[in-house]
Amino acid sequence: RKLGDFTGIQQRSHDGAGSHNPFKSFVPALMDQLERDGKKRNLAVYERQPDVAGAGKRDFYRLDQAEIKPKLVAAGIPEERVERFVGDDDKSGSSSEHIRQSLYSLLMDVRAERIGVVAIRDVARLFRDPSQKGPVRFANACARAHVMVLTNKGGQWELLDMNDYGDRNTFIDWCRE
């Protein structure tokens, strides 16, 4: 499952209401991942609103992040399998997981193999870390637990396999931006 294999924006799909749903083409791969090795895992949606420095973008991020779970459900992921991780609002993306409780909880669930996919609006919501310590720790935990990351880069959703060297490096590079 390489970086370019699952590009939802290129395969325009729509939910029942007729609005664009970029997740429709990802559903088979997502469900395979959630049922990997016979284990039932959840899809985690991590949401973090900008800190004071990014307050001008707050409404944009809130609206966009709030749409992820409903669009995943509308695309065909069972609602009970989509878990939201929220509560790190106004904390910088450069803060460690020990300061951001929702990120810490997500990391613990990844390590416990309760999560199969992490969906984030963009990696800046998860990390903005020039030191790369947090992103590398997270990517390694995802690789050990066989967790994939679904994220948006430049208007295109990508499904990144943290066990694929190229995808993992792409994720870490995006966290540096």
* Ordered DSSP codes for 97-158: TTT-HHHHHHHHHHHTT-EEEEEES-HHHH---TT-HHHHHHHHHHHHHT-EEEEEETTEEE
Question: Which one is predicted more confidently, 176 or 29?
Answer: 29
34-43, 62-71, 83-92, 168-177: least confidently modelled range = 83-92
Average pLDDT, the chain: 76
Place 104 in a pLDDT band, splitting at 50, 70 and 90.
confident
Taking the C-alpha atoms of residue 74 and residue 69, their distance in angstroms, rounded to an integer, is 9
Q: What pLDDT sits at residue 17?
A: 45
For residue 150, pLDDT over 80 is answered with yes
Please state whether 119 falls in left (phi above 0), alpha (psi between -120 and 50) or beta.
beta
- Please name the residue that has the structure tokens 């949606």: 45
Place 13 in a pLDDT band, splitting at 50, 70 and 90.
very low
φ, ψ of residue 91 in degrees (nearest 5): -110, 135
Q: What pLDDT sits at residue 8?
A: 37
- Please name the residue that has the structure tokens 């396999």: 161
Question: Which one is predicted more confidently, 16 or 115?
Answer: 115
Q: Is 97 exposed, middle or buried (0-12, 13-18, 19+ CB in 10 A)?
A: buried
Taking the C-alpha atoms of residue 71 and residue 77, their distance in angstroms, rounded to an integer, is 9
For residue 11, pLDDT over 50 is answered with no
Contact between 106 and 46 under an 8 Å Cβ cutoff? The reply is yes
Contact between 101 and 85 under an 8 Å Cβ cutoff? The reply is no
Q: What pLDDT sits at residue 123?
A: 75
